[in-house]
Amino acid sequence: MRYNVLACDYDETLASNSQVTDETIEALERLSRAGFKLLLVTGRELDDLLSVFPHPALFDLIVAENGGLLYDPRQRTCDALAEPPPAELAERLRAEGVSPLGVGQVLVATREPHDVHVLRVIRELGLELQVIYNKGAVMVLPPGVNKATGLAAALERLSLSRHSVVAVGDGENDHAFLTAAECGAAVANALPALKDACDLCLDEADGRGVTELAGRLLAGELDELDLPRHHVLLGHAGEEEVRLPTYGLGLLVAGPSGSGKSTVTTALLERLTGDGYQCAIVDPEGDYAEYPGVTVLGDPDRVPAVDEVLRVLEQPAHSVVINLIGLQLRDRPAYFAELLPRLTGLRAKLGHPHWLIVDEAHHLMPAEVRHVPVQHPGDVGALLMITVHPDAMSAAALGLVTTTIAVGKEPANTLAAFATARGLEAPSLRPAPKSDLALWRDGAAEAGELTLAPARAERTRHRRKYAAGTMAKDKSFYFTGPEERLRLRARNLHTFVELSEGVDDDTWLHHLRRGDYSGWIRDKLGDAELADEVARVEHEQAELSPRDSRQRVADLIGARYTLPAEPTDFDPDHKDR
């Protein structure tokens, strides 16, 4: 389910001539019984609303005074969301004969043509206030207060996200809150400008339109409604932007090690979280442990409990990295099998998280896993899986893929491997003069190359994994000595420093003189800056004792990477423990 909140304007949307029909009330009751949260967002003063609407408790919260007031009809509590205009404003308007004149807790309201008086008095009093119009109504409010800010306050109170909201209205003052919602709908009697700007135009007017909308929500018809304004930027094909939908997408990012999978994921993640989408990142190797602006749970010494993950995700403003670097490879599928249905349950209840991002997906959903407790990517909002080996993934997981991104020097080979794993015919590849990746959409005969729109902030890639996790055998460092009598594997920088302290001087100097340490750091870790610093130690080795050169290299590593007291015992290589 994509949406679990309906936010309604009152006059000429929910109500006609101030009255709401029994049919519309029944439609809202059906939504409430189905688990939808209902919000009423109106420009009316609260007392005025309650005098004409006898069913306020049908709504979970009511935003009144055009965003200035938040009312809980069940608890009968009321909170002003801004400071009121000075009393002198209303006094001056009364003295000048402005009528009608409504004075709420935050709002002062009249009708045209008295806006002329209102604007003059605001100017003469030197007040910083805004004037909002709505079909002849004139509302005076503090700056920045509108239906969108009121909606945001209501959603925060309920721990809900605007990306789970359908909002419906009819007038000028509804523009802001329809735009703030994931889907903005206009009843048939709405102003033409609002219809032009909204995502969905309803066939029926006022309350009948709300009844129509409620029926479509209950039937799930809006889940697949395309909303281009929310599509996330991926890159460019020539001058044309290439964007991806933010709901119902099953995205696979595949390619060899070091080919740019993390770069693509980071770019998408930055844009998604920047637009308020809550992301849950399952991170088997600690690659995202230092990603800014997210809550990181778990470390090399502690695996986060599933209940702990869900508690943090209950607040939609918090995206979460679930760091599994401390978990044995063999235990990861079971952990993920426990986590996944709990995430879908949380989304069914609260409407978030919006994206599930699964790094090293072949570790969490290997080919041996026959069942994945997700029937459609929309069950988790949108699904992004990253892998080096699509052919090593569960067939059930691959069946969720609707779009594939291939990175690396030979994207056609990666797409062919995925197609073979899915039992599909590999696409032809449409080349581009300059490209970082290839994009293949489900059902298309052709994939297209394009250039990635990079993230604004570069992430320090793989830092935690290189420091304390376990790197694959082909990326590890091996102390062999001058006669290759040894084969001591340094699976990360922590064990590299430990082993360097224990090997004999001949072995240490053998690799130092050959430049093996800087070469490993440059080629396998991708840290050119540290490699250059270690290379300087290698060049000065004749002037340093073995002890001093060891210490210099260890200090350089410690200055750039935080090394734990004890390494993790995770090893991705089944046969090399």
Cβ–Cβ < 8 Å for 246, 269: no
Structural domain boundaries of the chain? Answer: 1-76+147-227, 82-144, 231-452, 463-560
Residue 563 pLDDT more than 60? no
pLDDT digits (tens, 9 = 90+) for 538-554: 999 888 999 999 999 99
Average pLDDT rounded to a whole number, residues 100-120: 94
C-alpha to C-alpha distance for 165 and 167, rounded to whole angstroms: 6
The pLDDT of residue 406: 96
| Domain 1-76+147-227, CATH class in plain words | alpha beta
Q: How far is CA 337 from CA 333, 440, 573, 575, in A?
A: 6, 28, 21, 24
Per-residue pLDDT band at 150 (split at 50, 70, 90): very high
| Pair of tokens at residue 51 | 């005098």
C-alpha to C-alpha distance for 281 and 295, rounded to whole angstroms: 10
C-alpha to C-alpha distance for 252 and 29, rounded to whole angstroms: 40
Residue 461 pLDDT more than 50? no
What pTM did the predictor assign? Answer: 0.81
pLDDT digits (tens, 9 = 90+) for 508-537: 999 999 999 999 998 888 788 899 999 999
Q: Which CATH number fits domain 231-452: 3.30.160.20, 3.20.20.150, 3.50.50.60, 3.40.50.300?
A: 3.40.50.300
Average pLDDT rounded to a whole number, residues 326-339: 94
Mapping DSSP to helix (H, G, I), strand (E, B) and coil, where does residue 140 land?
strand
The pLDDT of residue 210: 98
Fold for 82-144, please state it: Hypothetical Protein Ta0175; Chain: A, domain 2 (3.90.1070)
The pLDDT of residue 566: 44
Average pLDDT rounded to a whole number, residues 359-381: 93
pLDDT digits (tens, 9 = 90+) for 288-332: 888 888 999 998 889 999 999 999 999 999 999 999 999 998 999
Looking at every residue in the chain, the average pLDDT score rounds to 91
For residue 415, the number of C-alpha atoms closer than 13 Å in the C-beta half-sphere is: 27
| Pair of tokens at residue 149 | 């800010």
The pLDDT of residue 259: 86
Asked if the domains at 1-76+147-227 and 231-452 fall in one CATH topology, the answer is yes
Cβ–Cβ < 8 Å for 91, 101: no
